[in-house]
Amino acid sequence: MKTYDQKESQELFNRAKKAMPGSPFCPEGGVYGHYSVSATAPGNPVYFSRSEGSRFWDVDGNEYVDYVCAYGPMILGYNHPAVEEAAREQYAKGNTVSLAAPVMIDLAEELVDMVSIADWAFFAKNGADPTNLSVMVARAATGRKKVIVFEGFYHGSSPWMQTPGSGGTIEEDTQHVIQLTWNDYGQVERAVEENDGEIACIISSPYHHPIVVDNEMPAEGFWQKIEALCKKKGIVLIVDDVRAGFRADLAGSHEYFGFKPDLVCFGKALGNGYPISALVGTDALREAMTSVFFTGTQFFNAAPMAAALATLREMKKINAPKMMLEMGQKIMDGLVGLAKDYGYDLKVSGLPSMPFLRITNQEPAPIMTEGPAAIHKGLHADWISECVQRGAYILDYHNNFISAAHTDEDAQRTWDIAEDAFKAVKKKYGDQY
């Protein structure tokens, strides 16, 4: 199987370096933020030319089965007809106008009806908007300052969630943030007791999906004990469902794991790629929500709301979570089997609709301890790179995503690519691992 040429992509990247800043993962510039991590991986394309369904094409004309899904926003498929038509119709009427559009009410009602704990909905743009707002609401409701989070979780790039010492942050940014170990309920209980009457909220993703390391589901009873503790101590329980939202359960990932939070943050997949996020909550927090002033110039964009409404309705119609969980399991089972045929142990963790992949033969795999570039080193990263260069766009350091647009044809194409990639790394490493 021939590997892809990416000459034009690299030429554009060299142009971009002169006009745009970089990031810790791409200090030479050209691409920043989370895109800079994948852009610096050997053999990865940098710019796309078009997209359709479960696939995109880079500027060199190479076609990829996409398992990154724009880092999660694409859930029904690129250029989904129902979503695009809804957005076009609203654009024709108006998008950013001096008044809100009625579609905002329709979308709020749809979310309230769909998400099990929701009595109201508030709309914004990026995932960091509802996570920041949720903490403000919790503080307004409780009159407390401190926030419990779990180590390795990501709730946006705001200073309070940055690693201490990150560029542009100060010590005071995290002085009220308590970081604990995921799945250690005893540690949570101790932290609450040691800070009795001071904890405003616990904010967490529904399960542990950090970068670089295996994803970890909640231990049996973990969430139920956290929920009971929060109720007992008057602590607001917040689920950051920005990444996993709608890929486990349309009623919210908390339903999949069997507990009930007070606030849930959505983003990414909510609009199938259109810029929109949401915070939903219970009536008990309506007054606190009302007391918080939180807004943005583009928060009232009507076309993304129309797209989100169409996305929710389409997901409900086809039972999208079931489709994605089943397709993800099928594709991952096939990859694990192929890996075994070549003497490799491919570990898959997390939800089948949001799988994290890692070849375990090389232990420990090089990670960020050697600097950002080390993410893309080693046996596993080389296998991922070989897959990408043949047309399966997969990440080596981050969970991947399955969409409702992925098909059996995509699965077979992916398996064919993966097998060729296993042959390539076998040739490189021999029996070393």
Q: What is the pLDDT of residue 370?
A: 59
Q: What's the chain's average pLDDT?
A: 95
Q: Is the pLDDT of residue 373 over 70?
A: no
The angle subtended at Cα 131 by Cα 149 and Cα 241, nearest 5°, is 85
Q: Read off the pLDDT band of 375 (50, 70, 90).
A: confident
**pLDDT tens-digit series, residues 349-358:** 999 999 999 9
Q: What is the pLDDT of residue 38?
A: 87
Task: Report how far residue 68's alpha carbon sits from residue 402's, in angstroms, rounded to the nearest whole number.
Answer: 8
Q: In percent, how much of the chain has pLDDT > 90?
A: 88
Q: Read off the pLDDT band of 368 (50, 70, 90).
A: very low
How far are the Cα atoms of 128, 171, 177, 244 from residue 167, in angstroms, in the given order? 18, 11, 18, 28
Residue count (the chain): 433
Task: Report how far residue 80's alpha carbon sits from residue 53's, in angstroms, rounded to the nearest whole number.
Answer: 7
Among the ranges given (24-28, 98-102, 347-351), the one the predictor scored with the smallest mean pLDDT: 24-28
**pLDDT tens-digit series, residues 241-274:** 999 999 999 999 999 999 999 999 999 999 999 9
Q: Give me the residue spans of the domains in the chain.
A: 7-71+320-429, 81-318
Q: Is the pLDDT of residue 120 over 80?
A: yes
Burial (CB count <10 Å: 0-12, 13-18, 19+), residue 168: exposed
Read off the tokens for 347: 């570990």
Q: What is the pLDDT of residue 420?
A: 98
- The most confident of 4-8, 52-56, 151-155, by mean pLDDT: 52-56
Helix (H, G, I), strand (E, B) or coil at 221: coil
Q: Is the pLDDT of residue 366 over 90?
A: no
Which CATH number applies to 81-318?
Answer: 3.40.640.10
Helix (H, G, I), strand (E, B) or coil at 65: strand
CATH number for 7-71+320-429: choose from 1.10.540.10, 3.90.1150.10, 3.40.50.2020, 3.30.420.40: 3.90.1150.10
Task: Report how far residue 396's alpha carbon sits from residue 321's, in angstroms, rounded to the nearest whole number.
Answer: 24
Q: Read off the pLDDT band of 55 (50, 70, 90).
A: very high
How far are the Cα atoms of 2, 93, 288, 372, 389 from residue 51, in angstroms, in the given order? 22, 26, 42, 29, 18
7-71+320-429 and 81-318, same CATH topology: no
Q: Which residues pair with 78 in a beta bridge?
A: 53
